[in-house]
Chains A and B, each alone.
Chain A
Amino acid sequence: MDNLINVFFNLDIIEKVWPFLLQGLWMTLLLSLTVVPLGLAGGLAVALAGNQGPRWLRWTTVVYVDFFRAFPPLVLLILIYFGVPFLGIDLPKFAAVALGFLLNTSSYYGEVFRAGLESVPRGQMEAARSTGLNRAQALWHVVIPQATRNVLPELISNTLEVIKLTALASVVALPELLNNARQAQALTYNPTPIVLAALMYLVLLWPVVRLLSRLEHRSTAVR
């Protein structure tokens, strides 16, 4: 047991790598805070285009969404990170990662918002228009708020997935939590940093998982 603790939870090593892992955690948060809002905005735009746009635009959004849902995000990331330089474009690492994640997450958020928009009865739009609001105002003040509320659990669930997704950035050596943990493990010849990083992810994300379970069970209880 002592040996196990020494290997997986070595206090000396924790003390040594703590600041480095904390730096990684900040990068993970920064990346999440960049990708989540961008993905939400992109997803809403995709859903609105699919729900309100002309017919050709609807089909375009279906193709866009299915294309990027079929693509493993890591493949997308590597394609952008290693492929784009062949075009002679020098994309900063953070931008490449954010772009790859944006394409992926906006498709998933797009599907969630689409379901949300479809769940709002058509009469809501008509009633809002009849009060003199124009279409954009009716969407923004009446339809979108209701749509968002109807799919709130799915939005949170997808946000959880986006934050977990940021761990992929370690593959292109963006210094986020998992990347720093692996470097620390290689330097200390000890798996403690990886275990510590896993614990940090748990501390960060477990409350979200709990919240989701409660939201889901509340909705089944109401039925």
Chain B
Amino acid sequence: MNSTVPLSSMDRFVSSFFNAEVAARYVAPILDGMLLTIGLGLCVIATGLVLGLVLAVLRIQHVKLVNAFIIAFADIFRALPPLVVIILLFFAFPYIELSMSAFTATWLALSLVLAAFTEEIFWAGMLAIPKGQWEAARSTGMGSWGTLVHVILPQAVRMTVPPLTNRTIAITKGTALGSVVALHELLNVSSSASSEAGNATPLVMGAVAYLILFIPFVVLGRWVETRFAWKR
């Protein structure tokens, strides 16, 4: 493209944002990045939700010292920006011989943040179950564990589905933060491809890939909000 005729602005726009030749070159690495994003996201969701649920169940036992720790944990990880947590884990911990890979740092940071929010949401859900439910279940001869598992949690979880879905989506989008510690996930791959090619097309591809990944969940979240709305 060495013609002396200046490109029209429309041509220039298309060739720098939707360049088929550049796109073809970077399809494979961007797909790899997308797979890593999916894998990381699933790991974060699994550990974050489970840890959050465990903490909420622990908290409902009302052991003062344990609760102080859980509340401190939940407060800290709800107050800190997730990127700050990732950077602390990745850049500060190596100074005490605790290095971790970019994947581990991103996964751990986002899991802790998701666990903190999940704990709060589950706990609020369990609190909202009327006391009579506990008492009625206990009076049938069920133990406190059985009451929790068979009576309280099923109702609490149902009530917490909408806020939990939205929070989980928001935190899972945070996998893009892994690019800051050079994790080769979707954003990292597409932005470095963009600077390598001197063309914005790979970034646009990355953006489209994120939309393909997350729009279904955002729409699902909207549906869940109406489906699981707490009838008052």
Contacts and interface: CB of A to CB of B under 8 A. Distances in A.
A and B found bound together: yes
Interface of A: 4, 7-8, 66-67, 69-76, 78-79, 82-83, 86-88, 160-161, 164-168, 170-171, 178, 182, 185, 190-191, 194-195, 197-198, 201-202, 205-206, 208-210, 213, 216-217, 220, 223
Given A164-B81, A220-B128, 20 more contacts: A67-B215, A69-B169, A70-B173, A70-B210, A72-B214, A74-B176, A76-B207, A79-B200, A160-B78, A164-B80, A164-B82, A168-B83, A168-B177, A178-B83, A191-B95, A194-B91, A209-B78, A217-B124, A223-B128, A223-B232
Interface residues of B, number: 54
A195 B177 contact: no
26 contacts: A4-B96, A8-B92, A66-B215, A69-B218, A73-B173, A74-B177, A74-B179, A75-B207, A76-B207, A78-B191, A82-B200, A83-B203, A83-B204, A87-B13, A167-B84, A168-B83, A171-B180, A182-B87, A185-B92, A195-B92, A201-B79, A201-B84, A210-B75, A217-B124, A220-B128, A223-B128
Interface in B173-187: 173-177, 179-180, 187
Contacts of A71: 173, 207, 210-211, 214
Contacts of B83: 167-168, 170, 178
Contacts of A4: 96
Interface of A is mostly: helix
A14 B75 CA distance: 25
Interface in B1-31: 9, 12-13, 16-17
Which 8 A/B pairs are nearest by Cβ-Cβ distance?
Answer: A191-B92, A167-B81, A70-B214, A164-B81, A72-B176, A72-B173, A205-B79, A86-B16
